[in-house]
Amino acid sequence: MIGVFGGTFDPIHFGHLRPALEILQDLSLDEIRFVPLNTAVHRAQPVATARQRLAMVQAAVADQPGFVVDARELRRAGGSYSYDTLASLRLELGPQLPICLLTGLDAFAELPTWHRWEEIAGMAHLVVMRRPGADEATGPKLRRWLEPRLAADPAALARSPGGLILLRDVTQLDISATAIRSRIAQALSPRFLLPTSVLAFIEREGLYRS
Contact residues toward ligand ATP (CB under 6 A) are 7-10, 15-16, 19, 103-104, 106-107, 129, 131, 173, 175-178
Give the DSSP H/E element, type plus range, for residue 22.
helix 14-26
β-bridge partners, 99 = 2
Report the distance separating Cα 74 and Cα 76, nearest Å.
5
Give the DSSP H/E element, type plus range, for residue 179.
helix 177-185
Q: Would you say 5 or 151 has its CB closer to ligand ATP?
A: 5
Q: Would you say 91 or 115 has its CB closer to ligand ATP?
A: 115
Report the distance separating Cα 111 and Cα 47, nearest Å.
24
Closest residue by Cα to residue 120 from 6, 200, 196: 6
Q: Would you say 96 or 113 has its CB closer to ligand ATP?
A: 113
Shortest-Cβ-distance residue relative to ligand ATP: 104
Q: Would you say 105 or 123 has its CB closer to ligand ATP?
A: 105
Give Cα 152 to chain centroid, integer Å: 22
Rounded to a whole number of angstroms, the minimum distance from the CB of residue 106 to ligand ATP is 5
Q: Would you say 142 or 173 has its CB closer to ligand ATP?
A: 173
Rounded to a whole number of angstroms, the minimum distance from the CB of residue 105 to ligand ATP is 7
Rounded to a whole number of angstroms, the minimum distance from the CB of residue 11 to ligand ATP is 9
Closest residue by Cα to residue 48 from 210, 207, 209, 189: 207
